[in-house]
Chain A
Amino acid sequence: MNSIHDMGGMHGLGPLDPSDDEIVFHAAWEGRTMALARAMMAGKHFNLDEYRYAMERIDPARYLQFSYYERWLEGTLNLLMEKGVITQQEFDAQLSKLSKADS
């Protein structure tokens, strides 16, 4: 797929910034996102190649704005809905519940 993910040789994206000393997870949700993705693959809900393809299909403007694990999370959510593991309604309901619990 010729999408925004295939950026080898592209100019204008600025210098690489390795200054955070290779921190693995910048926040707890990033670790949970990785664990969720691994669990879904071990549970055979999707495979690694389907997962990469899901991330490649993220809207290009959003793809560029997302951080690394935001792409993982978006890819996971899209696949879980495409595969019928969860529905959009279930996701929205849970999000609404958690938002209320937070406020």
Chain B
Amino acid sequence: MPVVDLELVKNLYKTPGAARLPVDVAPRFKAGDAVVARNINPPGHTRLPRYIRDKKGVIENDLGVFHLPDSRAAGTGDQAQHMYTVRFDAREVWGVEAPANDSLRITLWDDYMNPA
């Protein structure tokens, strides 16, 4: 079986750019909700970086439904979940020496957070 054939190349051009899924899934959070990032340390893939674990933030924006990267990388079944822009104060993440008015925004999936 050829690894790359003409059909595959044609499909490359048809692949939609956005990974957003057109499915109806109930969100766990809404804009304005206070959340805390979970402290998990999975040996597999996750897009929850270490520096944000256990930090408190606020949901800024619901970006829609996407595959949870963790289970998709492990091949244990696709999980469609809402993904959000979440704002964290710089001082919450980096401590009292961080500028008072700075914040960072990070995209997190439903599974990465608990209500604060």
A, B co-complexed: yes
Contact of B73 among A40, A43, A50 (CB under 8 A): A50
> Chain B residues in contact with chain A, CB under 8 A?
3-4, 8-9, 11-12, 15, 19, 41-47, 49-51, 67, 69-70, 72-75, 93-94
A8 to B51, CA, bound (A): 7
A-B pairs with CB below 8 Å: how many? 54
Q: A45-B3, A85-B3 are in contact. List 7 more A-B contacts (CB 8 A).
A: A1-B45, A6-B49, A42-B12, A49-B69, A49-B72, A52-B69, A53-B44
> Nearest Cβ in chain B — how far from A45, in angstroms?
7
Size category of the A interface is 20 to 34
B12–A38 contact, CB under 8 A? Answer: yes
A-side contacts of B49, CB under 8 Å: 6, 8
| Chain A: CB-nearest residue to B50 | A6
